Chains A and B, each alone.
Chain A
Amino acid sequence: QKEVEQDPGPLSVPEGAIVSLNCTYSNSAFQYFMWYRQYSRKGPELLMYTYSSGNKEDGRFTAQVDKSSKYISLFIRDSQPSDSATYLCAMRRTGFQKLVFGTGTRLLVSP
């Protein structure tokens, strides 16, 4: 079993839809959670960063962490065609530099 599981998609939605992207994990020691966005043939860019449980909002993006369920989510409101990309979740333990990545979910937002 992988430490981090993420549905590869693709997830296809119409413009303006609310998108929900999710990851589950097995290691309860993970404390730091990140979401990266990666456009085709580019490097990942950090979208959201959260520590421990709770919600964090930044513009159209909201990250949620539910440590009791070992489940993290990224919500995108009013999705745009420019949001079409692969979204990678990543997480790490306190005191460890190493990030563990999900496989990424490919999102397609159609006009």
Chain B
Amino acid sequence: DGGITQSPKYLFRKEGQNVTLSCEQNLNHDAMYWYRQDPGQGLRLIYYSQIVNDFQKGDIAEGYSVSREKKESFPLTVTSAQKNPTAFYLCASSREDIQYFGAGTRLSVL
């Protein structure tokens, strides 16, 4: 089955801890994206990557980091500098105009 796999589905972060959210796609898409979704705020772009080994900051990149070492993978690290990390995180990939989304990871703070 082709698609975008995000893991884990639920993640808990302790104070001062970095956590990494996984995103893998087997759609052979060049571009990948990370969004954060909060109630009443829609989707906000954190980072995006159009090709391997290259990525750009989105609207709310502070406190997050990414890497793009392989076409299939675009992990997101939520660092301890992100003071309000509780949210639903969505990964997407795109071919041409259309973005396809994974099932999301819900991150909570302990």
Contact = CB atoms under 8 A, between A and B. Distances in A.
A-B interaction: yes
Interface of A: 4, 6, 8, 32, 34, 36, 41-46, 49, 88, 90, 92, 97-99, 101-104
Given A32-B97, A97-B50, A98-B48, A43 B102 contact: yes
Interface string B5-35: 0100000000000000000000000010000
Given A43-B90, A43-B104, A49 B98 contact: yes
B42 A44 contact: no
7 contacts: A43-B101, A43-B102, A43-B103, A44-B43, A44-B101, A97-B94, A101-B43
A97 B31 contact: yes
A36 B38 CA distance: 16
A8 B40 contact: yes
A44 B97 contact: no
Nearest to A99: B99
B7 to A, nearest CB: 13
B104 A42 contact: yes
B101 to A, nearest CB: 4
Contacts of A4: 42
B97 A46 contact: no
Interface string B74-101: 0000000000000010100010011111
Interface of B: 4, 6, 31, 40-43, 45, 48, 50, 58, 88, 90, 94, 97-104, 106
Given A32-B97, A43-B90, A43-B104, A103 B31 contact: no
Given A49-B98, A97-B31, A42 B48 contact: no
A104 B42 CA distance: 6
Contacts of B102: 43
B42 A97 contact: no
A102 B42 contact: yes
A104 B103 CA distance: 17
Among A4, A34, A45, A101, residue most surrounded by chain B Cβ atoms (within 10 Å): A101
Contacts of B31: 97
